[in-house]
Amino acid sequence: MRLVQIIPAISPVYGGPSQMITGFSKALATAGVAVTILTTDANGDAGQAPLSVPLGVPVAQHGYEIRYFRRTGWPRYKFSAGLLRWLAAHAAAFDLAHIHALFSPVSSTAAAIARTRHLPYLLRPLGTLDPIDLQKKRRLKQLYATLVERQNLASAAAIHFTSRQEAAAAERFGLTLRDWILPLGVDLAEFAVSPAEQRAIAQSVRDRLHILPDRPVVLFLSRLDPKKGLDLLIPALEQVQAAGIPVHWILAGSNPQDPTYEAWVGDRLQASPLLACTTQTGFVAAQARRDLLLTADLFVLPSYYENFGIAVSEAMAAGLPVVVSDAVPLHEDVARAQAGWVVPCEISALAQTLAIALQTADRPQRGSAAQDWARKHYDWGAIARHAIQKYEEILQQAR
């Protein structure tokens, strides 16, 4: 099977979608699929230098290949005429296209090219069909949907949602869509360390960040975005601190697409009594990300909405108990596995739950339950096998 995946950007600074497509492609390649990723060299939307990568040529990585193309036009839209020309010229070389993102000129045009070249394709909305997300630039998106995305959605072999919650919330534009629920996975091998190794990693991180020995570490590891609930988390942690409960908060993340909000978070912390027991790391990737997950005692994500919440599954794979809002789709897994705590999007409820989580004796047991659940349900290999079955069904129907 020859699969082309198309995504506007793959730089780690864009968060979950980039992590997903590389892990997913590695698992598909291991299962025997010939995978090519088409993307741009975008590396942030606020004047950052592009990725330092070869352009227009295949770059081998973990059994699959990536072709990067120069981003052109306004940075935020990550458009690439070169990518689209290449796809139009080589569409016949593939059996199937998996296109990630809606309301993106490069993804929308890629879907149109696939349609005209009779290449079956799937669309993954990345949460863009959520009514809350559609409120942003609503009139423009309504026009865009009418002129472009309705036809793309209607002609897709399937719409790839990562959770039932994302599918249920999606705006359908009056269409009957062919939903396909496929969750995101985790590279479980990344967290396969011995207890002694984990203790050494944690001690190294604590020493480097000057965390006092008696302070349990609460970790927020995600893109800094208003939907992530930091306006709930900061005052909730302030209440925990005011109650005399020891805590050290690691705030890990950035937002190259919204530096104004990132600055607001920094200013809010500067004016907070939390500042003395907070480490703000900015963006972290690869091993540094893993090391933070292996160091923390508790993970928290009180989002107002998510289409999946990949950071939660990573935290569970690392053996961390988690505190999540009931707007994070994985909250059902957390509750079933008894892997942490689920709270409404309210400051008082979050503060009370954090206080309980930081003082309870069963935190390690919840962390173990989280890791066991992740091993059974978030393994990329099993997810890739399920995806291949769906791809084969689509190809049979196309024939």
Q: What residue ranges do the domains of the chain occupy?
A: 2-185+379-398, 188-377
Under 8 Å between Cβ of 278 and 266? no
| Mean pLDDT for the stretch of residues 355-363 | 95
Which residue, 241, 263, 243, is CA-closest to 254? 263
Under 8 Å between Cβ of 350 and 232? yes
User: How is domain 2-185+379-398 classified at the architecture level of CATH?
Assistant: 3-Layer(aba) Sandwich (3.40)
| Mean pLDDT for the stretch of residues 213-239 | 96
Higher model confidence: residue 297 or residue 173?
A: 297
**Predicted pLDDT at 398:** 87
**Predicted pLDDT at 316:** 97
| Mean pLDDT for the stretch of residues 7-30 | 88
Tell me how far apart the alpha carbons of residues 281 and 291 are, in angstroms, rounded to a whole number. 13
**CATH superfamily assigned to domain 188-377:** Glycogen Phosphorylase B; (3.40.50.2000)
pLDDT in tens, 113-169: 999 999 999 999 998 888 877 877 778 888 887 888 999 999 999 999 999 999 998
Going edge to edge, which strands form the sheet with 179-181?
Answer: 58-61, 64-69, 34-40, 2-9, 96-100, 121-124, 158-161, 179-181
Tell me how far apart the alpha carbons of residues 268 and 274 are, in angstroms, rounded to a whole number. 10
Same fold, 2-185+379-398 and 188-377: yes
Q: Does residue 27 have a pLDDT over 80?
A: yes
